[in-house]
Amino acid sequence: MNKSIKFSFLLILAMSLAISAFAQNNPKKNEEFGKIVKLTQTKKPAEQDKAYKMAKDFLAQYGKEENDEQVKKIKDFVDKYTLATFNKRLDELKIAEAFALGREILAQEPDNTYVVINMAFGGLDLFQKKKDASFGADATNYAKQALSMMEAGKMPKSFEPLKDQAEATAVMHYIIGSFALDKDPQEAARNFYKALQYESSIKNSSFPYYALAVNYEKAYENLAKSYQAKVVNKAPESELLADQEKLEKLIDRMLDSYARALKFAATDNDTVKDAWMQRFTQIYTHKNQSNKGLNEYLNSVWNTPLPDPSKI
């Protein structure tokens, strides 16, 4: 995820003030503070980690003294170190550790939208890079939470590794859609469609459009079975005509989605593009009784707005 926050920046804190500048009414406390200060002034990761552990013990013992200057400095160090480690664990795809740290931060800062966004993104990152969906449910919940927080005006100080609110919103919907696709194609389609309404790299990727096609395929399959049962049971002609009309619309939607997916699959040199092209050609030929005009359709699909899957 390549966070811009650097350990060297976060961990060299303004803790070099002489201990004599603080009240000397607790020599043991001052001694512990001094040890932590000394450790934080080195760039050795092992010593900084040791300082972090000592700082947490310090806060466990003296943290109730909220107005104490030493406590404030130590708390600032702990907060920054925890966030830096959270970012590092996400970069390393150590998602379980990152989530544990994220929850620790959220227990103290429930409105930290940055952490919520990155926990959601971390689950997606693991899924995309390692094909590991074990954090899919958590990522989905955090994505929904992030959307609610942004809608309520709770914006993060930074959207990193994302560009801005528009991209963050698109990616949160993309995350929900990605983990819903197998179990709930309609929910996936709704969220992929929402993701495509924002200016982000998602608009120029093939997968969201393919996901819409999957939703229409499933809807067509279910409706076709229902239609056949109605024919057998001699349902009223009005019902049969209504189903026929909807089946035709679903075919049109499939073609539209596959055509859009194919454009970016070709650009990305996606290995599945041949299978998608085969399916698109099959549907197009079935609808038109020939493949005449197929290439023209592929080239013209972008002249029309992307249909809303919830309106069919």
Q: Which two tokens stand for residue 50?
A: 């040791």
Separation of alpha carbons 41 and 205, rounded Å: 46
pLDDT in tens, the chain (312 residues): 555 444 443 443 434 333 334 444 678 888 888 888 888 888 788 988 898 899 889 889 888 887 888 889 999 999 999 999 999 999 999 999 999 999 999 999 999 999 999 999 999 999 999 999 999 999 999 999 999 999 999 999 999 999 999 999 999 999 999 999 999 999 999 999 999 999 999 999 999 999 999 999 999 999 999 999 999 999 999 999 999 999 999 999 999 999 999 999 877 666 789 999 999 999 999 999 999 999 999 999 999 999 999 998
Global confidence as pTM? 0.85
183: three-class secondary structure by DSSP = coil
Report the pLDDT value the prediction gives residue 8, as an integer from 0 to 100. 40
Long-range contacts formed by 171-174: CB under 8 A, 24+ apart: 171/120, 171/121, 171/124, 171/195, 171/200, 171/202, 172/117, 172/120, 172/143, 172/144, 172/146, 172/147, 173/143, 173/147, 174/124, 174/202, 174/208
Separation of alpha carbons 117 and 125, rounded Å: 12
Note the Cα 224 to chain centre separation in Å.
34
| C-beta of residue 141 within 8 angstroms of C-beta of residue 122 | no
Phi-psi region of 261 (alpha: psi -120 to 50; beta: other; left: phi over 0): alpha
